[in-house]
Every structure is written in structure tokens, then in C-alpha cells.
A and B are shown apart, each in its own frame.
Chain A
Amino acid sequence: MERLPILSLITYSPLVGAVVLFLWGNASTRAVRWIALIASGVSFALSVAMLLAFDPSQAGMQFTETFEWLPELGIAYRLGVDGISAPLVGLTTLLTLIAVIASWDPIRHRVREYYITLLLLATGMLGVFVSLDLFLFYVFWEIVLIPMALIIGVWGSANRVYAAVKFFLYTLAGSLLMLVGIVALYQEYFQQTGIRTLDVLELAQGNYSPTFQFWTFLAFFLAFAIKVPMWPFHTWLPDAHVEAPTAGSVILAGVLLKMGGYGFLRFNLPLFPEATQRWAPAIVVLSVIAILYGALMALVQRDFKKLVAYSSVSHMGFVTLGIFALNQQGLSGAMVVMLSHGFVTSALFLLVGVLYERAHTRELAAFGGLARNMPIFAAFFGFFALASLGLPGLSGFVGEFLALLGGFQSYRWAGVLGTAVVILAAWYMLRVYQRVALVRAPGEPPDPDDPELRMAITEGVPPVAGGGDADQHTPDPRTFPDVTWREALTLAPLALLTLWVGVYPLPVLDVIELSLRAILAAVTGERM
């Protein structure tokens, strides 16, 4: 049957854009931006078409493409999506498009190289989600590293080189052992069946010994755990986020971290069911630590971006908790948290970027009272802060509720502890909202009608200007213009999606359900 290879088209249209940019050496900056926009736009439009054509009543792979590549080694070009990968493909193309728009004004030097790198990154990420061949998957998995490190290292802020190298080495070290795991799996399957293949679906049919599963699980687990990142493999994340340009942070938080969660779902669980059950309790412990630790660290940050980065660690803890609770609610919750985190945290990074464009600092102490002169910004910020802390009716709540429910069913204590942390999330998110949007700006004279101030005067304490220890050279936040239409354009779709998934999550749950059930059946050994 002749069908449109839609997954290849989605994956490679950014690459085509990158090649065009590479060959067109003297393109004007304007042309460069438009080409990047068109390439990512085409990819996005195709992925929307793919999602619309996706049939949720089917548990298997859809839109599959297979070409022989290195048949003697069992390597083939195999693509396909199921209910887990299809939404992530959509998320990736959306966030790529948003990243292109978000970089429109802030990126001013080496613009052509920047967009080439960004588009290459997009192709790598999409390849990760659509590959069904372990070799192909590994190739894409590693390809992602280079452009991401370049984006951090070339277009990042002050300490960018350190952050880029740390990110690269950390994630590379993690994934190299996975390579040994992949080859070992291939060999084990060959010895059992006499078939040389790296087809994920076929390898999942194998029956591996517990010891083999134990170690191979670990090899895969390390690669994914570093990417998620789980505590204690998270140390690259705050550095990378803080130094990355806004669009880099969006992609990093929105997509790259999901590659870890996706890896667990696609590989660890179906390939190594017994090892999954053996390792699950330990991983749940790590997840709960991550949830707690991320939230506590977020509480004490003075850098806006670092705060969001640590909140990511906490949110991703819900993902791994949900996955390794090993029940339907947990898995669904993990998937929804991944999507929701993709919308909400990306939006928060965009908001930090908006402020950084105006203030050139991310110190929380430099801001205040922005709700007055930046009402639209404050509205968006309030919305996403609430979504991040898990307000019912927004997407974060649906995912975290399900993940906690799953956690509660399998490990009561994990559910209890995880739920308690939601309070911390409210604490740090509302604190930062108050700091940025509500309280007095640094240097702003106190309001004479402030009752607190009147009390202070009567008690003889000199009035303090807002802000405190912020650098005096930062611009006055009261002069900041509100978000531009282009900035609003990047935020609005994310807000809509957050609201949609929060109010009416059923279509999303429908899409993911059957695939998750198949994975769960593979792990628990039940037949569907």
C-alpha cells in the first residue's frame, strides 16, 4: 500500500530547513527566521494532521514505515507511533514552533547558525519519539545532545560553557552504557531465537533471564534517569536551564526531559518486565525524594529560572512515580504530567525570558509590582503559576492527581508524601508570583496608605524600599512594557492547551490509554 510517509515528513522537514539555511550562506536575518518558521510550521502542521488521523481504538503502532538498512545486523529504518509517542510528537513540533517564534527577537548574533542548530535539534527529538528500531533510536538519542549543547554553549548566558559541557558529558556518559545494553539485548535475542533484529516490538517478545534483565534494565535506566532527570542524577539540569537561552530552556524542559520518561515507557517496562518489578520500589523511593527535593530547592532559589528548573525536578518526580507505580492510573498520570509539564513549564520559561529581555537579570529581587504596568504578563504568569501548582481545572492537576492516585494504590506512603509536597508547590509558586507581580518594586517609595507602613512609622522604624538586595543597576521594573504580540503568540496556545487538558482530558486519556494498557499487561504478565 502506497501511503504518505508522514512520520518521516514530520521528522525531516526541520532538517530540510536546516540544510536550506546551511546552503544559503548569505541569507538575510529576516529570511533565515522565516525559513525556520516555515520548516517548523510544516512539521507542526503535519503532526497535527497525524494526530487527527490517529486511531485511539488501536493499541498497536500506526503510520509505520519500514525500510531495510543493514539487514545483516538486524538494523532497519523502522518508524511508528502509538498512543504514547503520538502526543509527544505533537508536543515536540508545537514547542519547536514556539521556540522559533520565541527566538525571533532575543537571538541577535549568529542567527543563521542558531536556527540551523535549533532545527537539527528538532529532527533529533522527533526521531527519538518515532523510532522503533533500537539502533535508529540510539542514533537520534545521541544526535540530540550536540545541538542542545551548542545552543546552551553559544547562545547562553555568562557561565554557558561550563553548563554546556556538563550537560553534554553527563548525558553522554549515561547513554553510552545503554549502547552496550542494546547490543547485549540484540545478542541475547539472537541466541534465543536465531533472529538478528533490533526491532523494539519484536525484542519485547523475548523471554530474558532475571539476571540479564536486571543488568540490562540498569543500563537503559541510567540513560533515561539522567535525562528525566531523577534525583540524584539531576545536577546538570539547573546549570543547563539557567545558562540556556529562553528557547533552549523551553525545548530542554518541554521535550528533552520527556525523552527520559518516554524511554522508560517504551523500553524499560516492555523489554524487562521482571526487572521492572524488582527495581520499581527503589525507583519509587528516588521519585519521592525528587518530588520533595525539587520542591524544597525551588523554595529557596533567588534566581527565577533556577526556581522553575527545580520545580521541573519535582514535577518529573511525579512522572517516574506514576510510571513505576505500575498501574493504569499511575501510567496515565505520568503521561499527562509529561504533557502538562511540557505546556506549563515551557510557558514559565517563556515568561522568565520575557522578563529577562527587559531587565537582563533573573534575580527575583529585581522585580516587583509588575501587575500594574504589565497586566497581560501578570495574567499569563498567574495562570501558569496556578497550573504549575496543580490547581484543579488546569492540566497539572489531572496528571498529578492520577499519578498520586497510582502511587497511593501501590505504595501508600509514597502517595501520602507526594501529596504533601503539593503544598510546597503552592508555596513556592505563589511566593514567586507575589514577589514578581505584586509587591513593591525595588526603589519604589512605599505607599502612604499602607497600614503596615504607618505602623512602622509610629514605631520609629525607617521605611524600607521594596526589593531589598537587588543590584542597583538593573532597570526599574516600573518602566517595563507589557508583552509584545509575538510573546503573547507563544504563550496563548500553551494556555489554551493547559486549560483544555485540565477541563476535558478525555480525548488525551483516550489516545494514551490502550497503549499504556498494553505496556502494563506486558509488565504484569496479564493478557489484555
Chain B
Amino acid sequence: MPLRLVAPEWSLLVPPLIVLGTIVLLLAIDAVSERAARQTALPLALVGQLLALASLATIDWGEGTTTFGVSYRADWFALVVSLIALVAGILSVLVSAGYTESGLEPGVGLAEYLALLLFSVLGTMVVGAAGDFIVLLLGLEMSAVAVYALTAFARRRLTSVEGALKYFLLGAFASAILIYGMAWVYGLTGSIVLSDIAHTLRTVVTPGQPLDPALLLALLLLAVGLGFKIAAVPFHMWTPDAYQGAPTPVSAYMSVVPKVAGFAAVARVLVQGLQPLSEQWAGLLGILALITMVYGNVVAIAQRDLKRMLGYSAIGHTGYMLAGLAAFTTGLAGDRSVGSVLFYLFAYAFMNIGAFGVIAWLQERGLGTTLDDVAGLAGRAPLAALTMAIFMLSLMGMPPLLGFYAKYYVILALIEAGQLWLAVAIVVMSAVSAFFYLRVVTQMYFQEPGGTWRPVRTPLLGLGLAVMAVATLALGLVSGPILELAQRWPAALT
């Protein structure tokens, strides 16, 4: 075959290129003058991402146009993933505002920090748009490796380094398994392009028949590798340590964006590539979902450190989202499975980054991260307490907050798919989760304050928290358009 060089369709690449340009600019300014970088990095990172967000509107996503051959897809799914990644990225930069001003160690640049964060956002956008295994893996690693470094950003604190090391080792291990699984799929189908794989498999697999052992092995390897990425039980071990050890703004970021990348990868690989095997993997995901949500929520009850508690709660939420994927039935219009998960990720970005943001806000004021540190917050800082209460209640799934709508759509998807047992499991686990989310609220509102309190001004962080609180409060009521957008996934993945 003669080698042919085709120019890529640049217009499709505008959003990721803007993010990339911002990164380059950040690093360039940092190289020229560290002082200039300190002053401009934060606004630059915000503006860059906002521009990228705005540029999403310039592309016609409905066509499902591809570039780089079929490796890069600009379809509805890619749009929603990019949207969530950028929104979460912007929120994370806002949450980092306090930390980057006061908490950075000497010799570590603010620009570096933000560049890494943006790299990870970029990687997540790439995963969403991946048309084949290579691009998918590229994005996934770009998203993860940047976060490994970010986790270790408090490099003099042992827990930070420990968390990063665990995260890195297990992440690398998972990637190896994932690649091995991809190799098996390639060997069996002769392709790394997701749509081709689905096409080939459709001719091989007959529904109702037991699966070819080799194919089953490939499926299991992929599931294990992806399970690590999204922190599904029993592949979750790195999560609590990494969440607790990382600097709080990093915890905020990594609780959301790498999860978006992970779920985007799951959707691309399983829902799109291995769709003919949906009978097998939907059942598998259902079981994983159940174990994950039970484990995360039950263990979270025992935590006294808020960041660790949110780590386990994140595992619980992974369980809910996996349940949403397990509701996959046909992939035809009207199948809510992937749409409900996308909406969940969207909602989760606001409430979880917000929850970590409040902890970061408290740390700025000299408090720790345990339950005792939030005691009496309502008397000390009523607005901060209210904000935290909104996030906690939303994570619990209380109406009319955003988290409730997210949970409702997952439950709806499950019941429409006839998976009543998972829907019941979700509500039972929501009741369990009330124990630990509510404990934060009771601490804030019903106890007397303790610890030393150092009033400082953190306007940007405050703005970010206000934005997230208002969004958590109100976005649910107008969730129609977002849901409608998320619901267009069948056009992209089938």
C-alpha cells in the first residue's frame, strides 16, 4: 500500500489545540520570567479553557466527521466528554486559586502546576474523541500521567508522595493489562479501529451462544484495565490514599476528570468497540457496579478524614455510574444508559469539585481535613457551611439538587432496561451514604467550633465555590437541554 499523507481536518481540532496552545504559552512564560508566570498563569489557564469551551460551538458534531483517518472522531459523545472535561478543568483551576497562591513549595512553579492540569484535561478530551485504540490509549495516559505528577505536588509531604506512587504503580499496571487486552482484540479481529472491531465481532458472535474463550479473555483484560482507571472495586486500592495524600485542589481535580476519561474509555471500548458482546459485559458491569457501590459507601462510613471519606464516596459514585452503563440494552435511540452516565459525570463535576473546594477553603484558613475541623462551621462562616451542605446533600441525592437528577436518570435507565435490582441497590446505598454525608452537615451545624481560625481572603476560590453551589442548586431544574445532549450518544457509539 502506498503511503499517503492527508492533512488532518484542522477545524475539528480547534478545541484541543486551544488547550494545547495554552499549555505551551504557560510553559513559555514560565521559562522567560517566573514572576510574570505567577501573575498571569491563573487567568491564562482560565481564559484558555473558556476559549476552548466556546470553540466547541464552532464544530458541527452531528455529522460524526472523522480525521486522521478514522482515529479521531468529532461526534456527539466527543462533544459531551470535552464539555465535561473543560467545565471540570475550569472549576478545578478556580479551586486551585488559593493553593497556587500560598501552598506551593519553593522551586515549583505555578505555571507547571496548571500546565499539568491542562494536559490532563486535554488527554480526557482526546479519549472522548478516540476512534481507535491508539488514540484512546494516548489520551488515557496523557490524562493519567499528568495527575500522577500532580498528586505528588506536595513533594515534601510523605502522604502526597505515597499516594502518587501507589497511584502511579497501579495505574501503570492497569495500563499494561489494558494494552494486553487490546492486543488480544487486535489479534482476534485484525483491527484497532473501534467501529471496525464492532463490525467484525457482529459477524462472529451469535447472541445467546457462549463466547469464544479468547474473546472472553480479551474482554476480561479490558474490563480489569479499565476498572483500575475508574477505581471500580476490587481495583480501587489506590483511590483513598491518592485522594487523601494529594494536595486538596488536586484531589478535587482527580476525583472528576480522570474519572471522566476512564468512563469515556469504557464507553468507547465496550459500548462502541465491543458492542456485540454487550450481553456479557453488561452483566459483568452490573456485578462490578453492585460491589463497587456497596464497598465505597459502607467503608466511607468509617472515615473521619474528609478527603478519605470523599475518596470512598467517589468509589460509591463510580458504582452508580457503572450501574448506568450496565443498563445498556440495545444502543438504539431511547437507550439511556450512556446518556445517564454522561449526565452523572457532569453533575458529579460540580458537586465533588465543590466539596473538595470547601475543604481547600478551610485549609487556607488553617484548619485540617477531619470531621472535627468542620465542627461549628455554620457559626463561623455560614456561607461556606451552606455551600458544603449543598454539596453533601447533592452527593447524597437529595432533591432538588443536581445529584438527585443524576441519580434519577440512572435509576430511570436501569428500570427501563428491566434491571430493577440495581435500581433498588442504588437507593439502598443512597440511604447508607446519608450516614456519612449527613455527619458532615451535623458537624457543621450542630456542633461547637474548634481549632484555630485564620481569616484570609480567597476571592477566586470563593467565586468558584459560589458558582458550583449555585449550579448544584439550580442546574437540575433546567437539566433538560444537557440531558438531551447527553442522550444523543447512540448516534456516536453505534
**Contact surface of A with B, Cβ cutoff 8 Å:** 69-73, 113, 135, 138-139, 142-143, 145-146, 150, 153-154, 160-161, 164-165, 168-169, 172-173, 176-177, 179-180, 183-184, 186-187
Contact = CB atoms under 8 A, between A and B. Distances in A.
Given A168-B438, A180-B427, A183-B423, A143 B399 contact: yes
Contacts of A150: 445
Contacts of A165: 438, 442
B484 interface: yes
Interface residues of B, number: 31
Contacts of A164: 442, 446
Contacts of B430: 176
A-B residue pairs, 3 tightest by C-beta: A139-B399, A176-B427, A173-B431
Given A165-B442, A179-B408, A180-B411, A146 B393 contact: yes
A187 B416 contact: yes
A73 B476 CA distance: 14
Contact of B400 (A113, A143, A179, A183): A143
B434 A168 contact: yes
Contacts of B480: 69-72
B420 A169 contact: no
A178 to B, nearest CB: 9
B442 A153 contact: yes
26 contacts: A72-B480, A72-B487, A113-B382, A139-B399, A142-B398, A146-B393, A153-B442, A153-B446, A165-B438, A165-B442, A168-B434, A169-B438, A176-B427, A176-B428, A176-B430, A176-B431, A179-B408, A179-B427, A180-B420, A180-B423, A183-B411, A184-B415, A184-B423, A186-B412, A186-B415, A187-B416
B152 to A, nearest CB: 38
B479 interface: yes
B483 interface: yes
Prevailing SS type, chain A contact patch: helix
Interface in B411-441: 411-412, 415-416, 420, 423-424, 427-428, 430-431, 434-435, 438
Contacts of A186: 412, 415
B415 A183 contact: yes
A161 B439 CA distance: 10
Contacts of A69: 480
Interface of B: 378, 382, 393, 398-400, 404, 408, 411-412, 415-416, 420, 423-424, 427-428, 430-431, 434-435, 438, 442, 445-447, 479-480, 483-484, 487
Contacts, number: 77
A261 B480 CA distance: 33
Nearest to A187: B415
A172 B393 CA distance: 12
A140 B37 CA distance: 49
A169 B434 contact: yes
Contact of A138 (B393, B399, B415): B399
B427 A177 contact: yes
Nearest to B382: A113
Nearest to A153: B446
Task: Give the secondary structure class of B's interface.
Answer: helix
Contact of B399 (A113, A142, A180): A142
Contacts of B400: 139, 143
Given A143-B399, A176-B430, A184-B423, 4 more contacts: A143-B398, A172-B431, A177-B427, A187-B416
A171 to B, nearest CB: 10
A172 B416 CA distance: 24
Contact of B420 (A168, A173, A179, A184): A184
Nearest to A161: B446
A140 to B, nearest CB: 8
Given A169-B438, A179-B427, A153 B445 contact: yes
Contacts of A138: 399
Contacts of A72: 480, 483-484, 487
Nearest to B411: A183
A150 B378 CA distance: 12
A118 to B, nearest CB: 15
Most-contacted residue by chain A among B404, B415, B446, B480 (CB, 10 A): B446
Given A73-B412, A180-B424, A161 B399 contact: no
Nearest to A178: B427
A72 B430 CA distance: 25
Contacts of B423: 180, 183-184
Nearest to B480: A70
B411 A179 contact: yes
B431 A180 contact: no
Nearest to B413: A183
A330 to B, nearest CB: 32
A164 B393 CA distance: 15
A217 to B, nearest CB: 15
B479 to A, nearest CB: 7
Contacts of A172: 431, 434
A145 B400 CA distance: 12
A146 B394 CA distance: 12
Contacts of B442: 153, 161, 164-165
A375 to B, nearest CB: 39
A323 B359 CA distance: 50
A168 B447 CA distance: 17
Contacts of A70: 479-480, 483
A169 B484 CA distance: 33
Contacts of B398: 142-143, 145-146
B164 to A, nearest CB: 37
Contacts of B438: 165, 168-169
A113 B386 CA distance: 11
A169 B446 contact: no
Contact of B446 (A154, A173, A180): A154
B437 to A, nearest CB: 11
Nearest to B398: A142
B448 to A, nearest CB: 12
Contacts of A160: 446
Contacts of B404: 139, 142
Nearest to B484: A72
B424 A177 contact: yes
A173 B430 CA distance: 8
B338 to A, nearest CB: 16
A180 B399 CA distance: 14
A160 B442 CA distance: 11
Contacts of A183: 408, 411-412, 415, 423
Contacts of A153: 442, 445-446
A180 B378 CA distance: 34
Kindly name the residue among A113, A135, A180 whose own CB sees the greatest number of chain B CB atoms within 10 A.
A180
A184 B411 CA distance: 9
Contacts of B427: 176-177, 179-180
Nearest to B397: A176
Contacts of B416: 187
Contacts of A142: 398-399, 404
B348 to A, nearest CB: 19
B2 to A, nearest CB: 50
Nearest to B423: A180
A168 B389 CA distance: 14
A179 B404 CA distance: 11
Contacts of B483: 70, 72
A164 B408 CA distance: 26
A139 B405 CA distance: 10
Nearest to A183: B415
Contacts of B434: 168-169, 172-173
Specify which of B408, B424, B435 lies most central, judged by the most chain A CB atoms within 10 Å of its CB: B408
A81 to B, nearest CB: 21
Contacts of A143: 398-400
A169 B445 contact: no
Nearest to A141: B399
A39 B402 CA distance: 27
A172 B404 CA distance: 13
Nearest to B389: A146
B390 to A, nearest CB: 10
Contacts of B487: 72
